[in-house]
Amino acid sequence: MWIYEKKLQYPVRVSQCNPRLAKFLIEQYGGADGELAAALRYLNQRYTLPDKVKALLTDIGTEEFAHLEMIATMVYKLTKDATPEQLKEAGLGAHFADHDKALFYHNAAGVPFTATYIQAKGDPIADLYEDIAAEEKARATYQWLIDMSDDPDINDALKFLREREVVHAQRFREAVEILKEYQGQKKYF
C-alpha cells in the first residue's frame, strides 16, 4: 500500500545527551495531543467521511506516523548515552524502572496512552473541527517545547514539525469548506 523509504521525513540531529528534554518530548509521543493520537484519530475517522476528503485524512494520518518516528528518534538520541542517575534526575526514574531506555506510549507526566484521547463522532464537520483543534493543540505544544529547549538541532526538527501542524490545520479547514459546499448541493437520483 505504501513505499517505505528508510529515512526520516526531516533529519533529526541532537547536540548532546539531554534526558530532561526527552521527558518533555515524550508528550508528543504518547500524549493526548501527540502524534500517535493524531494518526489514529485521522485514520479511524476517514471511514465515515465522504470520498471528497477521505484521502486527505489518509495522507495526514500516515504523515503523523512519520512524525511519531521523528519524535521517537529524538527521544532515543537524547537518552541513549544517559546514565540511570541522569534519567532519575530528569524525572524519568519511573520510566527507566519500567522500560529501561525503551520508548513507551505515555505523556510527559508518565500517564499511559489511552484511546480516550481519540475522538470520532461520525459527523464529518464535527470530526474535521476536532481535527483542526488537535492540530492547533499540537502546534502550541511544539512551540512550548521549542521555548524550553536550548538544543538548536532539536529545535530545527521541532520547528519543522510545528509548521506541518499549521499546514494540516489549513488543509482540514479547506476540507470543512468542501464538505459544507458538498452538503449544500442538490442530490439527483
Distance spanning both ends of the chain, measured CA to CA: 34
Looking at 27, 63, 130, 165, which residue is catalytic?
A: 165
135 is catalytic: yes
Contact 78/101 with Cβ under 8 angstroms?
Answer: no
Looking at 27, 35, 63, 130, which residue is catalytic?
A: 35
165 is catalytic: yes
Which positions make up the binding site?
A: 35, 59, 64, 67, 135, 168
Looking at 27, 63, 64, 130, which residue is catalytic?
A: 64
168 is catalytic: yes
Give the single-character DSSP code of 101: T
Which positions make up the binding site for Mn(2+)?
A: 35, 64, 67, 135, 168
Looking at 27, 63, 130, 135, which residue is catalytic?
A: 135
Nearest to 115 by CA among 3, 1, 39: 39
Looking at 63, 67, 95, 130, which residue is catalytic?
A: 67
106 is catalytic: no
Cα–chain-centroid distance for residue 26? Answer: 10
95 is catalytic: no
Contact 153/57 with Cβ under 8 angstroms?
Answer: no
Cα–chain-centroid distance for residue 99? Answer: 21
Which positions make up the binding site for Ca(2+)?
A: 59
DSSP for 3-43 reads: PPPSS-SS----SS--HHHHHHHTHHHHSTTSHHHHHHHHH
Write out the three cell numbers for 101. Answer: 531506555
35 is catalytic: yes
Catalytic residues: 35, 64, 67, 135, 165, 168
